[in-house]
Homo-oligomer: A and B are copies of this chain.
Amino acid sequence: MSTVSHVINRTRFVSPAKARVVNDAIAAMGYQPNELARSLKVASTNSVGLAISAISNPYFTDIICAVEAECARLGLMVFLSDTQEDPDRELSVVRAFHQRRVDGVILAPSGAPQRAIDYLAEKKLPCVLIDRFADDRFDQIGVENQSSMRALIDHVASFGHKRIGYIAGQPGLATTRERIEAFHSSLAANGLALLPHYVSPENVDTASATASTHAILSLPSPPTALVTGNNMTTIGAVRAIRERGLSIPGDISLAGFDDFEWADCFEPRLTLVAQPCAEIGRQAAALLSARIASSGLKPQAVRLQATLHARESCGRPA
């Protein structure tokens, strides 16, 4: 009878006596409501899909953690899927989310996200894009790349470096493009020239970053300082520098994007830009929730401020 539904959901008044009976019965039989059936009826699942391009990347890990926490607070369950930076997988993940009728999706777009994004738009699935800005039909949330890179270059240049190289991140990502542009403009702002072959534009993982770093450091006139575009490239660069037997910052200075918890255990401690991952995740979940509640809102792009943690990996040029 409908009364038990109403007791469970407190959706209309039920006399205390009857309510007790119902609650006792529920307790006695260990009844657990079937969310599937409920969702089918009310056309809302209280769940969201979280499609991340690389779960194991610590940067995304922090975001996942924050998203999960905020969603838990909001009473949402989260489906987690790894798109592995593969547009095909990305599309099928988004499809699977839709088939499970998630109320919304948080997506870290791959390098070629158009098909997945069009699908979301077509199906009118609420969605917020994180980290990489890919389509302004949706809410987007990420970091302020221009000012972050500027802070980085200003810091490095303040030690007197004239020859600064850049090991960029993955091809295709807005993040990568923006940071490269910011690298250019920040050099200019410091009155520095962009030297030929000083930007390694495409590095998909630590190994390619290591190779790229070797390439740059093998130039006839190599940089005296290196800036890295994300955590993978930082690791890759550190490895290459070690392999060449160079010391940081004695022989070469290093600074880059993406802080991590143990950065202070590196020797020397690395100067890095820390993104507000927790805040990105939290706001993404909150934004999505708001969007689910009222689809009328017009999409907004949020840029969060990152903070430069100046430590000891930069020094005067050799």
Binding site for B on A (CB under 8 A): 30, 32-37, 39-40, 45, 47, 50, 55-56, 58, 61-62, 64-65, 68-69, 72, 77-82, 95-96, 98-101, 122-123, 235, 238-239, 242, 260-262, 264-267
Contacts and interface: CB of A to CB of B under 8 A. Distances in A.
Contacts of A37: 40
Given A56-B65, A68-B55, A99-B33, A79 B82 contact: no
A176 to B, nearest CB: 21
16 contacts: A30-B122, A30-B123, A32-B98, A32-B123, A33-B99, A35-B101, A36-B40, A37-B40, A69-B82, A72-B81, A78-B79, A78-B81, A79-B79, A262-B262, A266-B267, A267-B267
B72 A82 contact: yes
Contact of A35 (B64, B68, B82, B99): B99
Contact of A96 (B77, B99, B122, B267): B77
A40 B38 CA distance: 10
A67 to B, nearest CB: 9
A265 B264 contact: no
9 tightest CB-CB pairs across the interface, nearest first? A267-B267, A80-B80, A56-B65, A35-B99, A35-B100, A55-B65, A36-B40, A61-B61, A238-B265
A95 B235 CA distance: 41
Chain A at the B interface: SS class: helix
A56 B281 CA distance: 13
B64 A80 contact: yes
A30 B119 CA distance: 10
Contacts of A30: 122-123
Contact of A56 (B40, B62, B78, B239): B62
A303 to B, nearest CB: 24
Nearest to A277: B56
**Residue from A47, A64, A80, A123 with most neighbouring chain B CB atoms (10 Å):** A80
Contacts of A69: 82
A311 B50 CA distance: 38
Contacts of A56: 61-62, 65
A136 B260 CA distance: 37
Contacts of A242: 265
